[in-house]
Amino acid sequence: MHVFTSIKPMQEISLKLKAEGKTIGLVPTMGYLHEGHLSLAVRARQENDIVVMSNFVNPLQFGPKEDFATYPRDLDRDNKQAESVGVDYVFAPSGEEMYPEDYSTYVEVKGGATEKMCGRSRPGHFLGVTTVVLKLFLITQPNCAYFGQKDAQQAVVVRKMVEDLNLPMEIVTCPIVREKDGLALSSRNTYLSPEERAYALALPRALAAGRQLIQHGERNPGRVREEILRILESSPGIRVDYVEVVDGRTLDELPVLRGSVLLSAAVFVGKTRLIDNIDLEVAPCTAAC
């Protein structure tokens, strides 16, 4: 496995591989890898000739009071894990390499999916996401890029950018990887105390209750949202950021639940912000409902 910290050699090898007819799968990460990240690399390994993993904590997507300075970092650990699942190249640039002093170009997907959910509570977040992701695409030249379903809104926004800019590549969304007790894997889980870790289980539990309502025939998105919110607000140690029940493809509101549906929530457990979601295909309600 080769590790690049500079843009030019990473881009040169990527262009060379593409010229040779190789397919490239990119796994964008902010490091401090867990099994969720590694599952993306495994999928990319199965579907491409070459696997590139980026490891970059992107300052543009953090707000001024967020955890950029304390976000966990351990490049040596990450490189060993990446190599263990067959990653060919790691691209791990510095902030100065990606955004030199005279940097002034940003990429924005306006309106729609960027203004709700995480976009509403984290202004400017998706401007940072789309800017860095487009730079990573241009540097590594992927045929496919792999994102986790836990970051469902991010995947929707990036897919829209790829569509609007006619980028010749595919965005692949992979299932959430969870702990045995249901908590979605996240690098930020390391912030949680044992007590907070127990409180955090209310998040997957509430979303699962919303799914169960739908499976039992509920097709009113407001009622499903109310049930998820009720469980979260009655759970100790939880402060709700948002709960949404929306179209899983566009994140638009739904008058009636059918087709692709996303149950999504963000909460604070102590100072730690956690997100989770459940995506499902919902059949139209029959008389039996």
Q: Of 5, 55, 46, 4, nearest to 28 (Cα)?
A: 55
Residues 79, 93, 273, 227, Cα dihedral to 10° = -80
Question: Is 216 one of the catalytic residues?
Answer: no
- What are the b/e assignments for 151-170, b being 16+ CB within 10 Å? bbbbbbbbbbbbeeeebeee
Spatial separation of the C-alpha atoms in residues 21 and 238, rounded to whole Å: 50
- The crossing angle, in degrees rounded to 10, of helices 221-233 and 202-215 is 150
- The crossing angle, in degrees rounded to 10, of helices 7-19 and 125-140 is 60
Per the rule left: phi > 0, alpha: psi between -120 and 50, beta: everything else, 50 is beta
Active-site residue, selected from the candidate residues 34, 37, 125, 216: 37
The structure tokens 């295909």 sit at: 281
Residues marked active site are found at 37
